[in-house]
Structure 1
Amino acid sequence: MSIDQWVRLIASETNGARRGRLQWLATWHCPKVTEAQFERWAHDPDPGTRLQALWFRGLPQRLALALAADPDPEVRGEACEYAWPHLDTGRRSALIDDPSPQVQEVARRRAGYDRPMSRNEFDALTTMEQWRVTPVQLLGRDLAEHLVRHAERGLRMNLVGNERLDANLITELAHEEDPQVRASVAVRADVTEELRASISAGLPPDTPYWGVDWVEELHWA
């Protein structure tokens, strides 16, 4: 599909969850968007068009930062998630106190990911909330150790995707009994080649193949 086809497909979807799914698919299956195209979207007078810049990977950091200060609250809210790692303290605070409840919600949720979560806080979440925060939340040490050693397999696999998990806990997951969890660790981008080589195999031959985002990124054109 062309970029224009992806844009029309996403724009025509009115269901938020399905639109999010289409955006995720576009991230990895859409042709590469040029910087010039991102520029045109980001500077368009129509906020609906400016939103399109946030649907695809490769958005330049400077444009993400500009869109996080967009006059339209929907654009600001969408850009908040994208730009958050690059925002200074002042701009983060401004988004947390944004006059738009929509923007406030996104900013406060994102800020909450940077505060260590305790076991009590985690246990108070619903099952779906636990699944949502496990790969992104800064986890208190006690909670992180508990999840590594005692959580059910699905949560442990989700935990492998948490980039802020301590290296020694990643090593524990790399050598645990479940082959699916070990395989998930083996394809983390930041795992050393020494650790990767030490992870024993064990997946059945008919195990479904899944793409590795950071490898695809290296060959993305």
Structure 2
Amino acid sequence: MGHKDDQLTRVAFGVSEATDAARADARRLLEADTALHAEWIAGLAMNSAAPEEILRRVFTIDPLPDPQRWLAYRKLPPKTARAAVAHPDPQVRRIIAENPYLPPEALAVLAQDPDPKVQRVAVVMAREYGVELPTEVTVRLATGPEARLRYFAAGLPGLPDETLLSLAEDPDPRVRAAAISSWSWPRLRPEVRAAAEADPDPQVRKAVEGATHIEVPLPTTVEDFLAETDERRRRDAASTAPVDAALAALLTTHDDSALRHGAARNPHVPTALALALASDAEPFVRLAVSLRADVTEEQRAGIDYNVPPGRHPVPAWVKEAFGDPDALREIAASSHVLLRRGVTCALELPGDVVERLAADDDYYVRLMLCENDHAPHELLVEMFADWNGLSWGTLAYRRNFARCGLARLADEPNFRLRYAALFDPQAEPELVERLSHDTNRLVRNHAAADPRLPRPRLVELLGEHGLPRAAARNPALPTELMHQLLNVAGVDR
């Protein structure tokens, strides 16, 4: 423990043998370390056990140290969110409003913020993430003096119908355009529709065009297909329309590989014609044929296809099989890796299918089984240790990730397994303390925030040579010690 860390123990936690002079000297030393204070403040703000009085103290600090780093994207405990939205600095409140994990009640407060920039960010976030604000708030925004807020409010969920319809007569053309849709158009009064059709603003007329547009059926015959000038509709027809035999034959032999690819995917194209594309010059066309529902496993195995790296959409016919255990068993036994991957996306899977997929040779079949919450414990631990995706840590929260017994992994060479050992509810304080000295910082941080960590080690980690932010986040930190940290940092009580 360094000199300053030892002084922290004496000052903040009242070690009895410290003299008054030593405490005063140590307090001066600690009060000068603003970087250490910033770590304590960030940790206390995220401490799930911090009482309201602590959080109110934290969020009176102005300026708040580096709020973008720890307030913008972290999931905030409800008490933290309540305290944070009352911070005096509008820039801090704007950062909080941008947090996609902010609880709805906190976002509702910021949607009524006195600062226009904060208010706009909060309303945009509510609209983007579909957060339903209290009705009185949405009505106030939709009828307020600022046109930009009225524009955003037009897209808020929960806005009363009558308020939304009234916005079609708003003085601002952007707001009028936002209020016109295929839903609102037939509900508007005739004179409002007439005014919108004759509106001088192009945004409004474009909204009217979209609201009144009637989708023409896609071409299904050669004659209609050749007459179609919209390239997007031609490709949609190739891949989804109930084409007749003549158009199917044209598409499967067309010079445009995109149209051949569409025909290979189209379930309305006869199997025999689709199979003619099994030897197509384009790999993506051959892959599309290999994924058809009407191709037998023997035919599938005879197609020279390659599966490019990355995510692939689940074929529609595989999705239709979700809920049919026998169909899922059949698809899970397919030789086609993309079909087996698709099966993992079903909400429910029979036990024997889970067992088969958990032993699959394809890494991504096993990984997707974990992502979709079906995997057995052993596979989850394997992927937790091995997968390099950004969200590997979330695997520890899957329903089958059994935590009891994970302490056995505390001596594993793989740091992720040592990290997993701390999830064991039966892990002893001695083990937590040992892992707080681990060579890996992530493991040390996890141990520092573990409430089973012995108090002397927790105090040590609050020092400049420890892990002050993680230790300040430890829910076992007594309230009075939290106050002591803020006292030392010079925060008003």
TM-score of the superposition, structure 1-length normalised? 0.51
Alignment counterpart, residue 84 of structure 1, candidates 185, 191, 196: 185
Aligned CA-pair RMSD:
4.7
Q: Which has the larger radius of gyration?
A: 2
Checking the alignment, whether the CA contact within 8 Å between 1:182 and 1:199 is kept in structure 2 is no
- Flag structure 1 segments of 5+ consecutive residues without an equivalent: 12-21, 157-175, 188-195, 212-221
How far off its partner does 1:199 sit?
Answer: 11
Checking the alignment, whether the CA contact within 8 Å between 2:127 and 2:152 is kept in structure 1 is no
Alignment counterpart, residue 97 of structure 1, candidates 198, 203, 224: 198
Letter paired with 1:106: A
Describe how 1:1-221 pairs up with structure 2 within 5 A.
1=100, 2=102, 3=107, 4=110, 7-8=120-121, 25-27=128-130, 30=131, 32-81=132-181, 83-84=184-185, 86-87=187-188, 91-112=192-213, 114=214, 116-117=216-217, 119=219, 120=224, 123-127=228-232, 145-146=242-243, 152=262, 177=293, 180-182=315-317, 200-201=327-328, 202=331, 204=339, 206-207=341-342
TM-score of the superposition, structure 2-length normalised? 0.26
How far off its partner does 1:43 sit?
Answer: 0.9
Q: Deviations over 1:94-140 (max 9, x none)?
A: 3222221110012112212x35346359932243x779xx7xxxx9x
Deviates more, 1:58-67 or 1:78-87: 78-87
Q: Distance in 2 between matches of 1:99 and 1:36?
A: 32
1:199/1:64 CA distance change after superposition, 3 Å = farther
Q: Distance in 2 between matches of 1:186 and 1:60?
A: 39
1:34/1:9 CA distance change after superposition, 3 Å = closer
Letter paired with 1:26: Y
Deviates more, 1:97-106 or 1:79-88: 79-88
SS in 1 for 2:180: helix
1:24/1:71 CA distance change after superposition, 3 Å = closer
1:124/1:23 CA distance change after superposition, 3 Å = farther
Checking the alignment, whether the CA contact within 8 Å between 1:68 and 1:79 is kept in structure 2 is yes
Checking the alignment, whether the CA contact within 8 Å between 1:54 and 1:79 is kept in structure 2 is yes
Q: Which gives a bigger RCO, structure 1 or 2 (Cα 8 Å, sep 6+)?
A: 2
